[in-house]
Copies of this chain bind each other. A is one copy, B any other.
Amino acid sequence: MSTSTRRARERANTRERIIEAALRVLETEGVAALTIRRIATDVEYSAPVVYQHFANKDALVLELVAHGHRLMLSEFRRAAQEPDTDRRTMRIASQYVRFAGEHPHLFQVMNDPMVDADERRRVAEPVIDVLKELLTTWSAAHDVVLADFDQACEILWGTLYGIASLSYLGSVGNDRARYLAEQALRAILLGWRTETPANGRPASS
């Protein structure tokens, strides 16, 4: 009986080592170097061993995506300690773009259309929840009633992603992109505050 638990522990351990190796390769050498054989070599196994822990490469990559979102979430939580609501918003926006700059290859995989859309949305949910919470306290602090809360949240999320992509797609530097993100959010939020509150926009499903 005790041996089986030990074996399970060892299994989980090598599984974790595979993920770590994959993450290391991805972050240091990019997505093109992320190969089953390469990862197996790094953990000193033969390639088929990987398939004892992951159904296929996509499943392994999904694990990296989940790791990336956990990492992003932890940095968001650090930025969310800022007490002032407006400053907190700016810091989170800045942090999102910074993440894209500091982990470009990871960020790329986290938003790769090749990974399953449902799975991606699933692992991204906790991060988006932080954004929702942020928007909730913001709208409460400024007495703004948003016509469609989820919609507003998606606008923020999409905007952050777009401007972060500006950076890692090579058009603008990362520090510049951070500033752009802050300014874009500032403009959007200012726009929402300025809207006539009685303005009943259609919810559009």
Contacts and interface: CB of A to CB of B under 8 A. Distances in A.
B121 A171 contact: yes
Interface residues of A, number: 44
A179 interface: yes
A113 interface: yes
Contacts of A166: 154, 157-158, 161
A158 B179 CA distance: 13
A165 B111 contact: yes
Interface in A150-205: 151, 154-155, 157-163, 165-166, 168-173, 175-177, 179-180, 183-184, 186-192, 194-195, 201, 204-205
B158 A162 contact: yes
Nearest to A121: B171
A1 interface: no
Interface in A101-136: 108, 111, 113, 117-118, 120-121
B194 A188 contact: no
A120 B169 CA distance: 9
Interface secondary structure of A, over-half rule: helix
Nearest to A147: B183
A51 to B, nearest CB: 21
A183 B150 CA distance: 13
A182 to B, nearest CB: 10
Nearest to A188: B187
A194 B184 contact: no
Interface centre among A118, A177, A190 (most CB of B within 10 A): A190
B180 A158 contact: yes
Contacts of A175: 204
A173 to B, nearest CB: 8
